[in-house]
Copies of this chain bind each other. A is one copy, B any other.
Amino acid sequence: MVLDLIDNPEVLKSLSLQELETLAEEIHKVLIHKMSMNGGHLGPNLGIVEATIALHYVFNSPTDKFIFDVSHQSYTHKILTGRKEAYLDPEHFDDVTGYSEPKESIHDFFTMGHTSTSISMACGMAKARDLTGKSENIIAIIGDGSLSGGEAYEGLGCAAKLNSNFIIILNDNEMSISNTNGGLYTHLKELRDSKGTSENNMFKALGYEYKYLEDGHDIKSLIDIFQSIKNIDHPVVVHIHTQKGKGYKFAETDKEVWHWHPPFHIETGENIRQMTRENYDDLVADYLLKKMKSDPSVIAIAAAVPLTIGFNKERRELAGKQFIDVDICEQHLISMAAGIAKNGGKPVVATFSTFFQRAYDQISQDICINKCPVTILIRNGSIWAGNDVTHLGWFDIALLSNIPNLVFLSPTNCEEYFAMLDWSIEQSDYPVAIRIPRNGVHHISDPVDTDYSVINKSLMTQKGERIAVIAVGDFYQMGEKLVNSIKSTLGITASLINPRYVSGLDQDLLKSLQQNHEIVITLEDGILDGGYGQKVASFFGDSNIKVLNYGLKKEFLDGYNPTEVLREYGITDDNIINDIRRIMDYTH
């Protein structure tokens, strides 16, 4: 294989065009093979094999610097920069992450995973280059999906004024994650249809030189166009038209599903593992569709990841006008939801915990100051969710529970989740956030509260003495288990509390614990710093009650094993009971 020769990108420069094309075919196969076993962002990566080869052929990484937006599409880049073993040999599949990672290679500059930052970061690198008298090429590679993000536009506006080398490769594969919806795409289509000659050109309007390439998979054309702007001394946008999923027929046809795909059978494209278990995505989607049917003012809004509430293509069609996808625009998502609520609609917004980080200000200002009754569904807020360092769901409690006026609910089981959701949609006094449990779908038979308007009222599910365990959200089942262990090892019947609200304390209940409890234990599936447990510790600060807070440490982990981490953090029955013993021995 030609690929056998590629230990570093310089080797490319000695290859013939034929060899480069052969290399591209090999890489297509390698990617399909690895993803079939490992899962990954197959579609985006298949779409950019040739362009990545051409970039490394023309430029001189790492002196010339590539910044891939999001960086989920940089598998070929990794293959070409000394990391091919991680794509060829299953034993080494996990040597690389799914994103840019400086620890792996000097050809990667940032650990990243959120969209629309590449132009800004590259702009900064260009500015530093100019200030320190260097002269390398700086190239941001951004997809049309990421271009919808507000920060990309901020970066575009600023980089346009650089007066020095700055290259943006716009990888237009006509697809955000799902079908794109914004006005930007009308314009990109106009540019593509006119082969880049349209008089209306947003990039030229901003002051960029602009070039267009229709066949973004033709290596010769790619090399020619990149060569033409190498060492350019002003900002330029090179708009290349590519096809997501190119080279694998299923990925070419169903682009949304193959954006990220779990392991599959190559011949049929079928998942290796079928998802048959009950899951919250399907449950909430069906709930919402039913709600929408009976109430035309209910509207679900996603930001490019509608599957976070199970809204696949069929469901989106069923919802019609009552579903909107705003593309990768979380800030707009939130402010728009505030507007919907203000004018008589009932908005339900949903995305991953990690992506709500992009809209903190809008949640605080537009939704919370104005007390707009918006329902915010947080998916993947948990240690058990995605373990990429750039997609951790560890921070949303600390981030959002400290915003005034937000009622932040953390359900412990399925019935409670849907009771909270239904209450939230129907009420109009509070902005509400609900953290979707991530430890499987737990059912209970006891009835649950349907009214959550008495804010911050906790639920004592087991009344005991001496020790109280407050177990938040999807750590509740751990709390149940702990209480049983306390009974069997210490002979104490502990109290068990489901706080339900992480945005505030049930002061009456906590005060009442002082009568016959010595120790309060809190368990939360989020970082301790800024979290729920510390509020409880502060509440009991001037009392004799001892408080032990268990939760996640304030750190960034990558590719971790949740069970190991929980053990390391001491969130095990054994360790907690040891801590209890230590306190009790000391005081008695």
Q: Cβ of B151 and Cβ of A332 under 8 Å apart?
A: yes
Q: Of B113, B360, B398, B548, which is within 8 A of A542 by CB? A: B548
A423 at interface, CB cutoff 8 A:
no
B-contact 0/1 string along A143-173, CB 8 Å cutoff:
0000011111111111111000000000000
Q: Of B126, B181, B186, B399, which is within 8 A of A360 by CB? A: B399
Q: Of B125, B297, B361, B368, which is within 8 A of A132 by CB? A: B297
Residues in B whose Cβ lies below 8 Å from that of A337: 124
Q: A343-B128, A347-B124, A404-B555 are in contact. Are A332 and B390 (CB under 8 A)?
A: no
Q: Cβ of B205 and Cβ of A365 under 8 Å apart?
A: no
Q: Which one, A73-81, A194-202, A435-443, is touching chain B?
A: A194-202
Q: Cβ of B402 and Cβ of A398 under 8 Å apart?
A: yes
Residues in B whose Cβ lies below 8 Å from that of A161: 181-183
Residues in B whose Cβ lies below 8 Å from that of A286: none
Q: A130-B321, A131-B322, A339-B127 are in contact. Are A547 and B556 (CB under 8 A)?
A: no
Q: Of B321, B370, B404, B534, which is within 8 A of A554 by CB? A: B404
Question: How many residues on the A side are at the interface (Cβ–Cβ under 8 A)?
Answer: 125
Q: Cβ of A299 and Cβ of B395 under 8 Å apart?
A: no
Q: Cβ of A345 and Cβ of B128 under 8 Å apart?
A: yes
- A residues 353-396 with Cβ under 8 Å of B? 357-358, 360-362, 364-366, 368-370, 389-390, 395
Q: Which one, A212-220, A426-434, A524-532, is touching chain B?
A: A524-532
A114 at interface, CB cutoff 8 A:
yes
Q: Which one, A87-95, A104-112, A472-480, A567-575, is touching chain B?
A: A104-112
A313 at interface, CB cutoff 8 A:
no
A340 at interface, CB cutoff 8 A:
yes
Nearest B residue (CB) for A200: B205
A139 at interface, CB cutoff 8 A:
no
A481 at interface, CB cutoff 8 A:
no
Q: Cβ of A154 and Cβ of B158 under 8 Å apart?
A: no
* Closest CB in chain B relative to A321 CB, distance in Å: 6
Nearest B residue (CB) for A406: B554
A208 at interface, CB cutoff 8 A:
yes
Q: Cβ of A390 and Cβ of B404 under 8 Å apart?
A: no
Q: Of B206, B339, B360, B534, which is within 8 A of A123 by CB? A: B339
Q: Cβ of B181 and Cβ of A206 under 8 Å apart?
A: no
A549 at interface, CB cutoff 8 A:
yes
* Closest CB in chain B relative to A181 CB, distance in Å: 6
Q: A183-B206, A335-B124 are in contact. Are A329 and B154 (CB under 8 A)?
A: yes
Q: Cβ of B538 and Cβ of A120 under 8 Å apart?
A: no
Question: With A and B bound together, what is the CA distance between A116 and B340 in angstroms?
Answer: 17
Q: Cβ of A556 and Cβ of B404 under 8 Å apart?
A: yes
Q: Cβ of A186 and Cβ of B158 under 8 Å apart?
A: no
* Closest CB in chain B relative to A7 CB, distance in Å: 25
Nearest B residue (CB) for A346: B128
Nearest B residue (CB) for A296: B131
* Closest CB in chain B relative to A188 CB, distance in Å: 9
Question: With A and B bound together, what is the CA distance between A158 and B304 in angstroms?
Answer: 12
With a 10 A CB-CB cut-off, give which of A121, A134, A190, A531 has the most chain B CB atoms. A121
Residues in B whose Cβ lies below 8 Å from that of A117: 331, 335, 362, 365-366
Residues in B whose Cβ lies below 8 Å from that of A150: 116, 149-154, 331
A447 at interface, CB cutoff 8 A:
no
Question: With A and B bound together, what is the CA distance between A477 and B431 in angstroms?
Answer: 38
Q: Cβ of A151 and Cβ of B184 under 8 Å apart?
A: no
Q: Cβ of A121 and Cβ of B342 under 8 Å apart?
A: yes
Question: With A and B bound together, what is the CA distance between A155 and B181 in angstroms?
Answer: 12
A269 at interface, CB cutoff 8 A:
no
Nearest B residue (CB) for A111: B369
Q: Of B110, B121, B183, B343, which is within 8 A of A124 by CB? A: B343
Q: Cβ of B182 and Cβ of A121 under 8 Å apart?
A: no
A562 at interface, CB cutoff 8 A:
no
A326 at interface, CB cutoff 8 A:
yes
Q: Of B186, B206, B579, which is within 8 A of A160 by CB? A: B186
Q: Cβ of A538 and Cβ of B530 under 8 Å apart?
A: no
A327 at interface, CB cutoff 8 A:
yes
With a 10 A CB-CB cut-off, give which of A184, A529, A582 has the most chain B CB atoms. A529
Residues in B whose Cβ lies below 8 Å from that of A33: none
Question: With A and B bound together, what is the CA distance between A60 and B241 in angstroms?
Answer: 47
Residues in B whose Cβ lies below 8 Å from that of A112: 365-366, 369-370
Residues in B whose Cβ lies below 8 Å from that of A125: 339-340, 342-343
Pull 12 A–B residue pairs with CB atoms less than 8 Å apart, ordered by A: A114-B365, A117-B331, A117-B365, A120-B335, A127-B336, A131-B321, A131-B344, A158-B329, A158-B336, A357-B364, A360-B360, A542-B583
4 smallest CB-CB distances across A and B, nearest first, come from: A150-B150, A124-B339, A160-B183, A157-B182
User: Given known contacts A160-B182, A537-B540, what 20 new A-B pairs fall within 8 Å (CB)?
Assistant: A112-B365, A112-B366, A112-B370, A116-B150, A117-B366, A120-B362, A126-B339, A128-B297, A128-B341, A128-B344, A131-B299, A151-B332, A153-B153, A154-B327, A160-B183, A187-B205, A365-B390, A368-B556, A369-B556, A542-B546
Could you tell me which A residues sit within 8 Å of B by CB distance? 65, 67, 102, 109-114, 116-117, 120-132, 134, 148-161, 181-184, 186-187, 190, 199-202, 204-208, 296-297, 299, 321-322, 324, 326-327, 329, 331-332, 334-345, 347, 357-358, 360-362, 364-366, 368-370, 389-390, 395, 398-399, 401-405, 527-531, 533-535, 537-538, 540-544, 546-549, 554-556, 579, 582-583
